[in-house]
């Protein structure tokens, strides 16, 4: 197993508590139906993390700094034609650059951070295109706090910032905002439905659609829905790298549908951004050394386009001490191994949200493994002295 540090932290704390009676029906009434996996809670309110306001300030400060560095990194990719590093097919590169130069909107992104309440938060990766765990972070943990810890606070204005984002985007829309996802996947459907709800609260006209129902009208050269209506604006909870590989991928270059997240975000959702960030900002306290070749010392290998902790190798002392399986092959990046804090054998990762340009909240995923994956538990948080 990787070397990890077990300690009693006098600031950031993991505390045990009693779940609310009938909590399952409570969270279902709030739109959350993905709360349990194989009869085990994915949403776990038997514990919570408590931070000080100083620690929350540290997470917020790191999030703004990382966001600014990421935007500079995108400019560097375009200025220096670094698309090869990101495996972006040549035919899409001008289109991606044009999306950036037009300053196309971004709604949200989630920085995954290692933070122990002592040193500065460290970036593990950036979920910049299709981050989930959104409803849990924005709504479910907020209501849990109001029900159980009303005297404390929570780093969480995600819901309000989402509505503000749609209020900004709405006047620029050419038609209804479509919300596309793989509706058979409950987590994706739940996330897309929540985002659609926030857009409706911002008075946007919206339409849901399954990704498989998005069609191409050859005569009109337009993306259309199942009723042959032009899809002028579409939020898609579907990764860009999958979009480019679809049969209709080349039709994206017609450039007559606005997609959210914008095409330029595919650069930030690619783990090739990690070595580039370290090249550009090697002195940043928030970055770990990363490269396209194995590092000296202990490191983690991550596929460029891997998702949900799949196909990750942890190398310690020249030995592979931890590995996950998955479907993601191809090029990888190598990031210095940095131990997650260990609370009674549980390893938390902070997911810090950027919405509409604001660092506005966080969620915590924890696991008994130092590698976070798609079934890792979501645990609420509070702060207060």
Helices 93-101, 53-79: inter-axial angle, 10-degree rounding? 130
- Identify the band that residue 6 occupies on the pLDDT scale cut at 50, 70 and 90: very low
Q: Report which secondary-structure segment, H or E, holds 95.
A: helix 93-101
- Taking phi over 0 as left and psi of -120 to 50 as alpha, with beta for the rest, 221 belongs to left
Q: Which whole-number Å values give the CA distances from 62 to 154, 215, 277, 341, 364, in the listed order?
A: 17, 41, 14, 18, 16
pLDDT of residue 7: 35
- Identify the band that residue 373 occupies on the pLDDT scale cut at 50, 70 and 90: confident
Environment class of 329 (CB within 10 Å of its CB; exposed 0-12, middle 13-18, buried 19+): exposed
Contact 336, 298 (CB under 8 A): yes
Tens digits of per-residue pLDDT, 310-369?
788 899 999 998 888 877 778 999 999 999 999 999 999 999 999 999 999 999 999 998
Is the pTM higher than 0.85?
Answer: yes
Look over the chain and give the mean of its residue pLDDT values, rounded to a whole number.
Answer: 93
Q: Is 102 strand, coil or helix?
A: coil
Environment class of 70 (CB within 10 Å of its CB; exposed 0-12, middle 13-18, buried 19+): buried
Two structure tokens written together for 346:
């549980």
Q: Which whole-number Å values give the CA distances from 111 to 49, 343, 354, in the listed order?
A: 18, 21, 8
Tens digits of per-residue pLDDT, 169-217?
999 999 999 999 999 999 899 999 999 999 999 999 999 999 999 999 9
Q: Is 13 strand, coil or helix?
A: strand
Tens digits of per-residue pLDDT, 85-140?
999 999 999 999 999 999 999 999 999 999 999 999 999 999 999 888 999 999 99
What is the DSSP secondary structure assignment for residue 36, as one 8-state letter?
E
Give the full edge-to-edge strand order of the sheet including 299-303.
290-291, 332-336, 299-303, 313-316, 319-323
pLDDT of residue 306: 76
Write down the residue that tokens 């002195």 correspond to: 283
- Identify the band that residue 1 occupies on the pLDDT scale cut at 50, 70 and 90: very low
């Amino acid at each position: 197993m990787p070397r990890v540090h077990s300690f009693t932290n006098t600031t950031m704390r993991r505390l045990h508590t009693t779940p609310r009676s009938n909590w399952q029906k409570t969270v279902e009434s709030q739109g959350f139906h993905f709360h349990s996996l194989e009869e085990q809670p994915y949403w776990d309110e038997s514990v919570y993390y408590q931070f000080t306001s100083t620690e929350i300030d540290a997470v917020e400060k790191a999030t703004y700094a990382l966001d600014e560095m990421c935007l500079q990194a995108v400019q560097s990719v375009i200025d220096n034609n670094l698309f090869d590093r990101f495996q972006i097919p040549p035919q899409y590169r001008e289109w991606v650059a044009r999306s950036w130069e037009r300053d196309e909107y971004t709604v949200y992104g989630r920085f995954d951070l290692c933070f122990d309440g002592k040193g500065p938060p460290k970036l593990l990766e950036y979920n910049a295109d299709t981050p989930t765990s959104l409803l849990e972070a924005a709504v479910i943990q907020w209501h849990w706090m109001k029900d159980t810890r009303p005297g404390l606070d929570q780093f969480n204005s995600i819901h309000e910032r989402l509505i503000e984002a749609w209020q900004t985007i709405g006047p620029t829309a050419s038609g209804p905002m479509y919300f596309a996802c793989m509706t058979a996947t409950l987590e994706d459907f739940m996330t897309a439905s929540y985002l659609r709800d926030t857009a409706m609260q911002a008075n946007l006209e919206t339409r849901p659609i399954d990704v498989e129902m998005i069609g191409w009208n050859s005569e009109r050269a337009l993306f259309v829905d199942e009723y042959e209506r032009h899809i002028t604006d579409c939020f898609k909870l579907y990764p860009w790298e999958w979009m480019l590989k679809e049969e209709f991928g080349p039709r994206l270059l017609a450039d007559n549908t606005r997609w959210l997240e914008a095409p330029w975000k595919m650069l930030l959702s690619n783990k090739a951004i990690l070595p580039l960030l370290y090249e550009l900002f090697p002195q940043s306290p928030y970055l770990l050394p990363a490269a396209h070749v194995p590092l000296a010392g202990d490191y983690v290998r991550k596929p460029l386009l891997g998702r949900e902790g799949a196909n990750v190798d942890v190398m310690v002392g020249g030995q592979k001490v931890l590995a996950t399986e998955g479907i993601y092959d191809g090029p990888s990046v190598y990031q210095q191994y940095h131990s997650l804090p260990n609370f009674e054998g549980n390893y938390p990762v902070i997911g810090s949200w950027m919405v509409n340009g604001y660092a506005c909240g966080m969620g915590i995923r924890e696991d008994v493994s130092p590698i976070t994956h798609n079934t890792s538990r979501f645990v609420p948080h509070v702060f207060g002295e």
